[in-house]
A = this chain, B = another copy of it.
Amino acid sequence: MATIDVLKSPTASPDDMSGLKLLSDHGYTAADLLAVIAKTEGNGCVNDFSRTLAAASWASVLPSDAVSVFSGGTEGVLAPHVCLVVSTSEATCPGAHAPGGALVAAVGRTGPVRHLDLGRARQATAVAEVVSELCLQLGLTSAEVHLVLVKCPLLTSDQVTECEFEGGEPVTRDTYSSMARSRAASALGVAMALGECSSAGAEAALRGELEVWSSVASVSSGAELEDCKVLVVGSSPSAEGPLRAAHTVMRDALDSDAVLALLRRVEAEGGEVVQVLAKAEADPSGSIRGRRHTMLTDSDLPSTRHARAAVGGLLAGLVGDSAIYVSGGAEHQGPPGGGPVTVLYRLGARRESDGDG
């Protein structure tokens, strides 16, 4: 049974495992975990060891087929936290049981991404295959998918050198850029699987010749893994439970209208926001609504840190909660300069034993 429950627990540090206590407070155990989705407090870039530390901490308690997505970077107001996705059933998941439409989820992973394949069509294809399989497994149509979260590798200096030693040419020699290239390929894989673009379109997009994007992909890259991990979340007509989701796309980093509209939909249903997951990026044109931004010319601060801080500040202010998932670098995830936003919400009353005290 793929129905899920979602718990959110603030963390005092990347290796804070108090989320396990929250699990047990709700009658779950680590064995029920399908995924851990977290914001850790590193720079979110190549040398972000907060992700590695968190991953190492959770590795020992996660079921072997569960996935973890540790996204670094809690710039500005953003609060480090973990979001625990557990497999559940009607019996264990309390709250209002609206007939149908509850959240279901499934996870999978590609094989290891060869260094030479990173950021290229093979990576996109590998991700697409996993996404397709998971949708099939969940019985979801593309329209029923609200979020496809992917965690994928990057290239370190050693790996770049290794590629070249073997006579190959990596997609980029710049380690920070490799994060963007990996996100791009993964996002296009999601788009392919959901019918948002064709395989040829994805390849053209990778060559920079076409602008296509997924409206539900959310991809984060890191040095702490070698394959791509995938989490698909959707609303299943046949699943019962109080958890719901809605998503939209911010057309740029100022698009409060899209977010407010989304939040009004949730409110209209009597829903209470459990988690917000969003992607943000510096508009590649160098300006937003005709005004110059400086994220791409600031050599002191990577643009992904700028983008997380700004969009995180907007979203946290709008939902009144800073423990949300905002990830930087939205290549082919929403339109250029914008990004997808998914809200997970709960119908019915707030549960008392929430760990956020």
State the Cβ distance, A273 to closest chain B Cβ, in Å. Answer: 13
Output the nearest chain B residue to A309 by Cβ-Cβ distance: B309
Contact call A254/B317, Cβ cutoff below 8 A: yes
Least CB distance, A175 to chain B, in whole angstroms? 5
Asked if A313 contacts B76 (CB within 8 A), the reply is yes
Q: Tell me the interface secondary structure of chain A in the complex.
A: loop
Taking a contact as CB atoms under 8 Å apart, the answer to whether A254 and B316 are in contact is yes
List residues 37-93 of chain A with CB under 8 A from any CB of chain B: 41-43, 45-50, 52-53, 56-57, 74-81
A167 in the interface (beta carbon within 8 A) = no
A14 at interface (Cβ–Cβ under 8 A)? yes
Nearest CB in chain B: distance from A19 CB, A: 14
Known contacts A15-B56, A322-B293; is-contact A286 B158 (Cβ 8 Å): yes
A357 to B287: give the CA distance in the assembly, Å. 12
Chain A 280-304: CB-based contact to B (< 8 A → 1; otherwise 0): 0000111111111111111111100
Pick the 6 closest A-B CB pairs, nearest first. A76-B310, A45-B299, A157-B286, A310-B313, A309-B309, A313-B313
Chain A positions near chain B (C-beta within 8 angstroms): 10, 12-15, 41-43, 45-50, 52-53, 56-57, 74-81, 156-158, 160-161, 173-177, 223, 253-256, 259, 284-302, 305-307, 309-314, 316-318, 320-323, 356-357
7 additional contacts, CB 8 Å, given A43-B299, A77-B288, A291-B322? Answer: A13-B223, A76-B309, A175-B299, A256-B318, A290-B356, A291-B323, A314-B316
- Chain A to chain B contacts (Cβ below 8 Å), 29 pairs: A12-B292, A41-B298, A52-B53, A53-B53, A56-B56, A75-B298, A75-B309, A76-B309, A77-B253, A78-B293, A78-B294, A79-B288, A157-B285, A157-B286, A161-B286, A174-B174, A174-B177, A253-B313, A255-B317, A256-B320, A259-B317, A290-B356, A291-B321, A291-B322, A301-B305, A310-B313, A311-B313, A312-B313, A314-B317
